[in-house]
């Protein structure tokens, strides 16, 4: 795997690949890799002769400075994991390469970011859109791969690509889970062993809520049930549980209002903020 710290040599590498008619798949990450990240790289490798990944902990998308500081960083094991799955190139820039000057560009995605993550993390998606735009301009991928775990992020990037006419096709990859159902996340490594056991409750709550909705329970009733389940443990604090239309993220009052509802949850386990979601199959 070739590692690029600067933009120009990466671009030269990609020009050569494209001259040979090879498509480029791109997997942006913030590092601290787990099997979920690797599944995105594997999906890209299936579709493309060339796969580029990136590691960049993007300051612009952290609304909480402590969260940015505590974000796990494990570059040596990340590189070894990427090499093992056969990633072709890694873009691993320093902050100064991505932000030569402090950025004044802001994005506003309207309704898409007024709920859930956008509501609780003001400015987060503007920062995501900024860094993804920069990365798309640098890599110019044919395909880009994102995890379903961050569904709202996927919906926002899809809107970004439509509006700014990026010439890239987006792919959403299913969430990889631990054996107890907990969605894999870089943040899981910050949980204590006890918290790690408790954290599976996010997934279990989604499964239970999905069953209740399929059996005809009202969304309001299900919300109260989820709140009670999570907060029966003093170390867990529910931030939101919502049922939304997965296409436009409008919050639903009744599941019948959408053909593809999605259940989304965010909660603190200790001081670690975790998210998860699940499509409601009907």
To the nearest 10°, the Cα dihedral for 255, 169, 123, 177?
A: 60
Q: Is 176 in the site for ligand AMP (CB under 6 A)?
A: yes
36 sits near ligand AMP (criterion: CB under 6 A): yes
> What is the Cα–Cα distance from 130 to 58, expressed in whole angstroms?
9
Please tell me the distance from the alpha carbon of residue 90 to that of residue 54, in angstroms, as a whole number.
Answer: 5
Residue 39 or 195 having the CB closest to ligand AMP: 39
Mention every residue, 6+ apart, whose C-beta is less than 8 A from residue 92.
3, 4, 5, 54, 55, 56, 75
What minimum distance in Å lies between the beta carbon of 160 and ligand AMP? Answer: 14
Q: How far is the CB of 75 from ligand AMP (least distance, A)?
A: 13
Query: Which residues, numbered 88-107, are part of the site for ligand AMP (CB under 6 A)?
Result: none
Which range, of 143-151, 225-233, 239-247, 264-272, touches ligand AMP by CB under 6 A? Answer: 143-151
Catalytic residue list contains 37: yes
Is residue 29 close enough to count as binding ligand AMP by CB under 6 A?
A: yes
Q: What is the dihedral of CA 237, 261, 158, 121, to 10 degrees?
A: -20
Please report whether residue 147 would count as binding ligand AMP according to CB under 6 A.
Answer: yes
Element (H, E) at 15: helix 7-19
Closest CA to 173 of 35, 3, 76: 35
Alpha-carbon distance 241 to 119, whole Å? 13
- Residue 76 CB, nearest distance to ligand AMP (Å)? 16
Name the catalytic one among 37, 203, 204, 234. Answer: 37
Q: Long-range contacts made by residues 191-194, C-beta under 8 angstroms, separation at least 24?
A: 191/269, 191/270, 191/272, 192/270, 194/235
Residues in the interface with ligand AMP (CB under 6 A) total 17
Q: Is position 39 an interface residue for ligand AMP (rule: CB under 6 A)?
A: yes
In the list 121, 124, 149, 203, the residue contacting ligand AMP (rule: CB under 6 A) is 149
Give me the least distance between CB of 171 and ligand AMP, in Å please: 10
Is residue 202 near ligand AMP by the rule CB under 6 A? no
Q: Whole-angstrom Cα distance, residue 271 to residue 92?
A: 28
Q: Does 52 bind ligand AMP (CB under 6 A)?
A: no
* Cβ contact 111:94 at 8 Å: no
Our finding on whether 150 is near ligand AMP (CB under 6 A) is yes
185 touches ligand AMP by CB under 6 A:
yes
Q: Which is nearer to ligand AMP, 107 or 151 (CB)?
A: 151
Query: Where on the chain is the footprint of ligand AMP (CB under 6 A)?
Result: 29-30, 36-37, 39-40, 146-147, 149-150, 173, 175-176, 183-186
Active centre residues (catalytic) = 37
């Amino acid at each position: 795997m070739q590692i690029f710290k600067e933009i120009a040599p990466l671009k030269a590498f990609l020009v050569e690949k494209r001259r040979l008619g090879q498509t480029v798949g791109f997997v942006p990450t913030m590092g601290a890799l787990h099997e979920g990240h690797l599944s995105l790289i594997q999906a890209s490798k299936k579709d493309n002769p060339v796969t580029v990944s990136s590691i960049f902990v993007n300051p612009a998308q952290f609304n909480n400075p402590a969260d940015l500081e505590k974000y796990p960083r494990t570059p040596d094991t990340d590189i070894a994991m990427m090499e093992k799955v056969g990633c072709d190139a890694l873009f691993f820039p320093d902050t100064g390469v991505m932000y030569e000057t402090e950025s004044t560009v802001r994005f506003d995605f309207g309704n898409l970011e007024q709920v859930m993550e956008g509501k609780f993390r003001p400015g987060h998606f503007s920062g995501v859109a900024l860094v993804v735009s920069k990365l798309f301009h640098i890599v110019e991928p044919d395909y880009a791969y994102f995890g379903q775990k961050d569904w709202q992020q996927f919906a926002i990037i899809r809107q970004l690509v439509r509006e700014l006419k990026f010439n890239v096709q987006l792919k959403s990859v299913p969430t990889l889970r631990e054996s107890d159902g907990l969605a894999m996340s870089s943040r899981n490594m910050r949980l204590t062993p006890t918290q790690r056991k408790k954290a599976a409750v996010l997934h279990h709550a989604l499964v239970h809520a999905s069953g209740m909705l399929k059996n005809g329970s009202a969304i309001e009733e299900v919300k109260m049930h989820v709140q009670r389940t999570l907060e029966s443990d003093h170390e867990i604090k529910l931030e939101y549980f919502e049922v939304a239309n997965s296409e436009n993220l409008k919050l639903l009052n009744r599941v019948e209002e959408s053909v593809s509802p999605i259940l989304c949850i965010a909660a603190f386990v200790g001081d670690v903020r975790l998210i998860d979601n699940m499509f409601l199959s009907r």
